């Protein structure tokens, strides 16, 4: 008998600890300045639902399941939206508003269960059980709608970002004094950069381990940094170890790349590599590391041959 008592006590403590940890997490979300009002309202309602589920006198397991599912739903939404560096799309906000209405309806239902007399609880036991199961289905459906709206919004933001970047690229080429070969090289590097970003995002999404009921993880859209900058400055680091081309207005023309270097390997320069000698006036490669949060290197090329060699070597070593 003693081992059974010990096992039962340990199980109760674990359950209580889980509820307490969930409550702490929800209160942290509620207090966060990054959480917008509709989500905070959902958190407030879920906290009440959690408390009421602990006091349920009938269908207790079902009530606890709904409460935990509601809490997990809030945490999933928070995980998907907390790192957005742009305003949440209207469709995503509307999905959260609908979830808020559903959770408030669940809270009202739980309060009614708490006030029911004994004879009513017995008479309505089957009906209450069916209603609890229906709320579980509605929660899953609401989360699915949120995930779909989020994915569609992210896709639209990506298309808008790509279109804006294409316009900037075209405008820069129109006013630049680059040769045709330099224009082609710049466009190829730009296309390669976007291709690498797509592959990186796909790899991040596929490697994310999440429950089947959780929405797919998405990356916050990162608008591309300005493609051109003056000599001696660096562009904002992109979320990939890819090169950002910066043609410098000099005579003769000089190619300059701002490359993120944190945790990355620079291509090794051997005696057989173009531009290996720093004393050569044409085809030199110079590094200028900038210390700080975004460590970058300014790399100068004084010929198309060296630029093509370096771009190929760099990108092959970072795929």
Residues contacting 45, CB < 8 A, separation 6+: 100, 103, 104, 106, 107
**Cα–Cα dist 67/23, whole Å:** 11
Rg over alpha carbons for the chain, rounded to the nearest Å, is 28
- pTM for this predicted structure: 0.51
pLDDT for 192: 65
What does the pLDDT look like over 182-217, one tens digit per residue? 677 777 766 665 655 554 454 444 444 344 344 333
Per-residue pLDDT, averaged over 290-299, amounts to: 38
pLDDT for 193: 59
pLDDT for 21: 83
**∠ CA 44-137-12 to the nearest 5 degrees?**
60
Report whether pLDDT(141) > 70.
yes
Q: Which of 136, 143, 117, 123 is nearest to 63 (CA)?
A: 136
SS3 for 144-169 is HHHHHHHHHHHHHHHHHHHHHHHHHH
Q: Which has more confidence, 238 or 57?
A: 57
Provide, rounded to the nearest whole percent, the portion of the chain with pLDDT above 70: 50
Residues contacting 193, CB < 8 A, separation 6+: 238, 240, 242, 243, 244
Residue 55 has which token pair?
A: 């006091």
**Cα–Cα dist 163/33, whole Å:** 32
pLDDT for 195: 57
Q: Which has more confidence, 178 or 162?
A: 162
Q: Which has more confidence, 51 or 273?
A: 51
**Cα–Cα dist 97/95, whole Å:** 5
Q: Which of 257, 259, 231, 254 is nearest to 246 (CA)?
A: 257
Report whether pLDDT(150) > 80.
yes
Mean pLDDT of the chain, nearest integer: 64
Identify whether the C-beta of residue 258 lies closer than 8 Å to the C-beta of residue 235.
yes
Residues contacting 259, CB < 8 A, separation 6+: 241, 242, 243, 244, 296, 297, 299, 314
Report whether pLDDT(166) > 70.
yes
**Cα–Cα dist 121/114, whole Å:** 9
pLDDT for 139: 92
**∠ CA 200-204-210 to the nearest 5 degrees?**
165
Residue 191 has which token pair?
A: 């296309």
Per-residue pLDDT, averaged over 80-84, amounts to: 78
Distance of CA 131 to the CA centre of its chain: 35
Per DSSP, 269 falls in state P
Task: Answer whether the bond into residue 252 is a cis peptide, omega within 30°.
Answer: yes
Q: 50-59, 77-86, 223-232 — which is least confidently predicted?
A: 223-232
Per-residue pLDDT, averaged over 259-272, amounts to: 38
């Amino acid at each position: 008998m003693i081992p059974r008592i010990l096992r039962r006590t340990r199980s109760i403590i674990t359950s209580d600890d889980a509820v307490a940890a969930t409550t702490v997490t929800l209160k942290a979300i509620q207090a966060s300045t990054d959480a917008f009002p509709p989500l905070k309202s959902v958190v407030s309602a879920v906290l009440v639902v959690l408390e009421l589920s602990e006091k349920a006198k009938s269908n207790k397991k079902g009530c606890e399941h709904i409460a935990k599912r509601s809490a997990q739903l809030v945490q999933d939404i928070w995980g998907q939206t907390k790192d957005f560096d742009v305003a949440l799309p209207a469709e995503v906000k509307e999905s959260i508003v609908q979830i808020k209405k559903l959770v408030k309806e669940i809270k009202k239902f739980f309060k009614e269960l708490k006030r029911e007399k004994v004879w009513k609880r017995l008479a309505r036991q089957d009906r209450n059980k069916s209603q609890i199961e229906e709320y579980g289905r509605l929660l899953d459906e609401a989360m699915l709608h949120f995930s779909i709206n989020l994915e569609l919004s992210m896709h639209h933001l990506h298309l808008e970002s790509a279109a804006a970047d294409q316009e900037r690229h075209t405008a820069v080429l129109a006013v630049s004094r680059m040769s045709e070969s330099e224009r082609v090289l710049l466009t190829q590097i730009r296309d390669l950069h976007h291709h690498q970003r797509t592959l990186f995002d796909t790899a991040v999404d596929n490697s994310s381990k999440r429950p089947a009921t959780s929405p797919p993880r998405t990356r916050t859209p990162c608008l591309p940094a300005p493609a051109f900058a003056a000599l001696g400055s660096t562009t904002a680091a992109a979320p990939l170890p890819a090169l950002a081309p910066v043609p410098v207005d000099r005579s003769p023309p000089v190619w300059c790349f701002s490359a993120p270097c944190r945790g990355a390997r620079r291509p090794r320069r051997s005696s057989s590599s173009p531009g290996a000698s720093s004393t050569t006036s044409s085809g030199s490669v110079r590094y200028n590391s900038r210390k700080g949060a975004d460590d970058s290197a300014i790399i100068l090329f004084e010929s198309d041959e060296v630029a093509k060699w370096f771009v190929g070597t760099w990108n092959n070593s970072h795929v």
